Structure 1
Amino acid sequence: MMGEALTAGAVARRLGVAVTTLRTWHQRYGLGPSRHVPGQHRRYTAEDLDRLEVMRRLTAQGVAPAEAAAWAKRVPVPLDSAPAADPGWAAAAAEIEPDGAASDGASPDGAAGDGAAPGGNTRDGGGHAIPVGRAGPTARGLARAAMRLDGPAQRDLLEMVVQRRGVVRAWDEVIMPVLIGIGERYAATLRYIEVEHLLSRSVTEVLSGVSRPPAGTSPRILLAAADEEQHTLPLEALAAALAENGVPTRLLGARVPPASLSDAIERTGPAAVLLWSQTPHTGNAAQLERLLHGPHRPLLVAAAGPGWVKDTLPAEVSLFGDLQEAIAALTAAATQ
């Protein structure tokens, strides 16, 4: 980090932007030099440079300047340690399948723009864009970063949107549109599995960073993927959203055999159990029947995901169609 204040020209050279851009950011958004010596022009401090670097990075990724500036102003520490930056829950079906087959999903009508903004990576992953519909500039920025296989940029944007909007809005407004768009690109080209994998990893890392309730709080909610089900991102989003509400959970992850799930219920005695199924192949209602007739039946047995067929589920099973519905029901069960 620099030890002395810098002029506008020096800062522009460090950031790779024009001096006129710095003036615009100062006049419109208040991101100007803060050090003042009588009789001299104001100079940029180390903290000013950190905030401007956040501004440059986010705008290069497609975030609207006003939103990027609002985030940059909240960075009080050196950049190296500072965070940068309604399709419905069932729309997770648009993710690329582990075996290379893409599920059907929604059909957004927009697209993330080709290429990168000045100061960013100049390659966009092969000249193809990820469609994100009307999801907004943050989703478009995430789509560009995903196409570039730019993991740090993806995490910066995801951290920003989770902290500013919360998990549910981040999932609905940013993450899901991009996942759906990648699924559409795969369906059209049979490519971009690597794009989905890296984005999924970034989403997992950011969601796992959401603060959890104190360790002494015993979880009464058990979340698991159905037998042979490999998709877990929706469950990770649910666990993070519940954590924001102060509700701890146990998340068993992918491909939980019925016998293992029964063992977990016997040892932990949860008030509610939710099983996620992404595809009809894993949405076997017998798994839920087993929970209802086991020796340690939870107060709430629930299913979520597009793999379940409502008419085949036992009447006692709650089927959740969106994230908010699941959060409300599980929160209520945890407090009984």
Structure 2
Amino acid sequence: MGGPAEGDAGLGVGAVAQRLGVAPSTLRTWDRRYGIGPSGRSPGGHRRYTSADLARLEIMQRRILAGAPPGEAARVALGAPPGTPPPPRAHGAGGNRVPVTAPGRDERQAAAVRGLARAAMALDRPAMTDLVRTALRRDGVVRAWDGLIVPVLAGIGRKHAAAGDCVEVEHLLSTVLLGSLAETAPPGRPLNARPVLLACAPEEQHSLPVHALAAALAEAGVDALVLGARVPPTALAAAIRKAGPNAVFVWSQTAETGDPAWLAALPAARPPYRLLVGGPGWAHDRLPANAAPVSALAEAVTRLTSPLGAL
């Protein structure tokens, strides 16, 4: 009586979070800190978001993405008349919208991509962490990487190439991704008796794909040693001699780090190891005969886990 119509008060925090592309924890924080929460009630007495609440949240979200502090954005949203439509979205590479696409993805995946992009642009670390952890837990490393993480990183890269900004966005998102991937526990009883070595090419600083591969391998029960970014050839050679790996994977992101001449000088071992290379930086026409290129995370996992009898 006198409150919102029952049919207008039917959305819980999870449904609103999915619709807006933010984490449920972000909505709860906005409610707790700024008083911009659900005003409706379900027949059972649970708080529910009305269409007017959604409009206010969208206004707040747009203000944040335009650079306003959350408190100021909330004040503007709460002062707007109920039902006021949100400002139009920015298009193209300008503004604060990351140009992401989600071809072939279902609506859940597409919503997650949009949500992570928005959280990244707002430097909302808790929301980014929640979205990435949820995807890793629900879909596994390979699907989360291909369906969520790569599209958002690619969108940020396109925006940086067009406008020269978003460096801080990429750095914070990478930090969140590294932390979340590191939470994948190594296998207690690995399937491989000899480890896999994962390294970046000399002077290659883009190590995130290597950490994603390590997490995907751990998920598959394979033990891997991550040497990280900018691994000198002498250091990789020493690791091969000490660890006696069954496989070595080397990543190159840029053409500046993709000269494969040094790979031929890596030491032989008994028993022999497989040498795989990944990343768009490699000059494939000059790879040594024993270096096999892989083009995707799933392919790298398959090559490094099968046949298990050869590990």
TM-score past 0.5 threshold: yes
Does 2:58 align with 1:117? yes
Task: String of CA shifts for 1:252-296, please: whole Å, max 9, x gaps.
Answer: 1000011111111111100000100111111121231122x4456
Q: Is the 8 A contact 2:186 2:223 kept in 1?
A: yes
Q: What's 1:132 paired with?
A: 100
1:277-292 pair list within 5 angstroms: 277-291=252-266
Q: Is the 8 A contact 1:273 1:298 kept in 2?
A: no
Q: Is the 8 A contact 1:61 1:144 kept in 2?
A: yes
Does 2:126 align with 1:152? yes
**Structure 2: distance between partners of 1:282 and 1:140:** 32
Decide whether aligned partners of structure 1 residues 322 and 21 sit closer, same or farther in structure 2, where only a CA change above 3 A counts: farther
Q: Is the 8 A contact 2:153 2:170 kept in 1?
A: yes
Unaligned runs of 5+ in 2: 25-55, 68-94, 104-109
**Structure 1: distance between partners of 2:129 and 2:60:** 18
2:167 corresponds to which of 179, 193, 197? 193
**Structure 2: distance between partners of 1:252 and 1:22:** 55
Q: What's 1:272 paired with?
A: 247
Q: What's 1:211 paired with?
A: 185
Decide whether aligned partners of structure 1 residues 335 and 313 sit closer, same or farther in structure 2, where only a CA change above 3 A counts: same
Q: Is the 8 A contact 1:219 1:247 kept in 2?
A: no
Decide whether aligned partners of structure 1 residues 335 and 230 sit closer, same or farther in structure 2, where only a CA change above 3 A counts: farther
Q: Which amino acid is 1:289 matched to?
A: A
Q: Is the 8 A contact 1:186 1:193 kept in 2?
A: yes
Q: What's 1:300 paired with?
A: 274
Q: What's 1:61 paired with?
A: 21
Decide whether aligned partners of structure 1 residues 294 and 138 sit closer, same or farther in structure 2, where only a CA change above 3 A counts: same
SS of 2:253 mapped into structure 1: coil
1:330 corresponds to which of 285, 304, 309? 304
TM-score (norm: length of structure 2): 0.70
1:229 corresponds to which of 199, 204, 207? 204
Q: Is the 8 A contact 2:189 2:221 kept in 1?
A: no
Q: What's 1:24 paired with?
A: 10
Q: Is the 8 A contact 1:232 1:253 kept in 2?
A: yes
Q: Which amino acid is 1:221 matched to?
A: V
Deviation at 1:116, TM superposition (A): 6.4
Decide whether aligned partners of structure 1 residues 327 and 244 sit closer, same or farther in structure 2, where only a CA change above 3 A counts: same
Task: String of CA shifts for 1:34-84, please: whole Å, max 9, x gaps.
Answer: xxxxxxxxxxxxxxxxxx555554544358xxxx8xxxxxxxxxxxxxxxx
Q: Is the 8 A contact 2:22 2:127 kept in 1?
A: no
Decide whether aligned partners of structure 1 residues 21 and 174 sit closer, same or farther in structure 2, where only a CA change above 3 A counts: farther
TM-score (norm: length of structure 1): 0.66
The percentage of aligned residue pairs carrying the same residue is: 42
| Bigger RCO (CA 8 Å, 6+ sep) | 1
